Amino acid sequence: MNKLEQLYSLQGKTIIVTGASSGLGLSMTIMLAECGAKVYGLSRRGIPEKEVGTLSHGEIIFDKLDVTDKASVQKKFKEIADANNGVIDVLVNNAGVTIKNRAEEFTTKDWEYIQSINVSAVFSCCQEAYPYLKMANNVGRIINISSMASFLGFSEVVPYSSSKAAVLGITRGLSVEWAQDNILINSVSPGWFPSEMTQGVMDDDRKAKILNRMPLHRFGKPEELAAMISFLASPAASYITGQDFSVDGGALAFGY
């Protein structure tokens, strides 16, 4: 194995990706496998929305999981670890939802639904993966998917913004608490990528505002986000923890 492969190959790694059946989650799952990993793509659907095709490297196993059901998470993670010598190397907490509505009109039910998936499930997945990540051969990794909405205010998605800000708090807190437990924890905040979730809250006016808000003036490509996830999962990122990485076309840096 040459130096490049030593730094970036995921050969022999066991990786879990939640929310993996479509969109950005599916793109991450495919790229992680192409880097050599055995990837468990978990979602409520249990199967990808489109044909993955033949992989040149790695392996993908799609399966069902409701991340809000803690007992099911515990059972599924144990099954995965037991099938891989008691080890999970990387957990990517990608599952997430949003609902568009004005803040004063949000129901308690919708608020709790968003928090249950975007916050509570992230924390419980970290908890259930913890004993197996500790046993990772190199160093265990957790990669939480946050959002630009963690940093910037957007109208009609306040519950989503609050949930993604909480993901940053979980990331930083766990990175300190588990620093001596062989686990690195980071988050990635995507900018604007075409996805089923973002399309549901985007009209023409919002689209124009978004494109004008970033220096690159274009939406991101799914593989541009997946590349950051693959890097953080790789041996090359062995001295990085407690950080958030914005993959946003320069949006956070843009003043005027």
Q: Which residues are the active-site residues?
A: 160
Contact 49, 26 (CB under 8 A): yes
Strands 140-145 and 90-93: parallel
Alpha-carbon radius of gyration of the chain: 18
Q: How many CA atoms lie within 13 A of 155 on its CB side?
A: 7
Contact 81, 87 (CB under 8 A): yes
Contact 178, 185 (CB under 8 A): yes
Q: Output the six-digit token pair for 185.
A: 């924890």
What is the DSSP annotation of 200-220? TT--HHHHHHHHHTSTT-SPP
